[in-house]
């Protein structure tokens, strides 16, 4: 019996797959638990339509993410920090500090999207990756500079 999987079934297939299973397995397990539906011509055409709609939406999201990545990559952020004698920072520059500096330029980014391997603890210029979409990553130029002492 051919069925269309409505959910991922271990050792059988993923959601949306058209699979051939034993009649009893389909009637007694998959269909009653709403894990699969019969593979009628109407259901197959409906499945193809849903896949096309999802595919189009994913393409639009990816294009929007690429546009956002271009805007983010064009940014350059300067973060002033207190520095000790050997050029080492008091504390460190974290993703929250970077998000705050970006927000000052008018672009909102969630701090979980910024991927620092470890906090920045020295002066210099760093390229910091920002995950815009699961397939799209942008790079922000972050410059850590010595803060001017207050008078």
Topology given in CATH for the domain delimited by 2-68: Ribosomal Protein L9; domain 1 (3.40.5)
Which of the four pLDDT bands, split at 50, 70 and 90, describes residue 29?
A: very high
Q: Which residues pair with 77 in a beta bridge?
A: 142
Q: Is residue 148 over pLDDT 90?
A: no
118 SS3 class: coil
Residue-wise pLDDT for 75-131, tens only, equals 899 999 888 877 778 888 899 999 999 999 888 888 899 988 888 888 889 999 999
Which of the four pLDDT bands, split at 50, 70 and 90, describes residue 150?
A: low
Contact 131, 147 (CB under 8 A): no
Q: Positive or negative CA dihedral for 102, 72, 68, 128? A: negative
Which of the four pLDDT bands, split at 50, 70 and 90, describes residue 3?
A: very high
- Spans of all domains in the chain: 2-68, 74-146
Residue-wise pLDDT for 41-62, tens only, equals 998 898 888 888 888 988 998 9
Topology given in CATH for the domain delimited by 74-146: Ribosomal Protein L9; domain 2 (3.10.430)
Measured distance CA(103)–CA(117) in Å, rounded: 21
Is the model's pTM score more than 0.75? Answer: no
**Two tokens, residue 16:** 């949306």
Q: Is residue 141 over pLDDT 90?
A: yes
pLDDT at residue 67, rounded to an integer: 93
* Maximal C-alpha separation, the chain: 83
Instruction: Spell out the residues 6+ positions from residue 26 whose beta carbon is closer than 8 angstroms to its own.
Output: 1, 3, 36, 38
Measured distance CA(111)–CA(96) in Å, rounded: 6
Of 28, 39, 41, 34, the closest CA to residue 6 belongs to 34
């Amino acid at each position: 019996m051919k069925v269309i999987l409505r959910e991922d079934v271990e050792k059988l297939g993923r959601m949306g797959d058209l699979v051939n299973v034993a009649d009893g397995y389909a009637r007694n397990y998959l269909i009653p638990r709403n894990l699969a539906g019969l593979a009628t011509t109407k259901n197959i055409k409906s499945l193809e339509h849903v896949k096309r709609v999802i595919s189009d939406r994913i393409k639009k999201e990816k294009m929007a993410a690429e546009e956002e990545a271009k805007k983010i990559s064009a940014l350059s952020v300067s973060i002033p920090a207190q520095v000790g004698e050997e050029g080492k920072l008091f504390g460190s520059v974290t993703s929250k500090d970077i998000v705050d500096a970006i927000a000052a330029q008018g672009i909102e980014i969630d701090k979980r999207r910024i991927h620092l391997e470890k906090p920045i603890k020295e002066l210099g210029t760093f390229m910091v990756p920002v995950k815009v979409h699961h397939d799209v990553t942008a790079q922000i130029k972050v410059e850590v500079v010595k803060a001017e002492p207050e008078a």
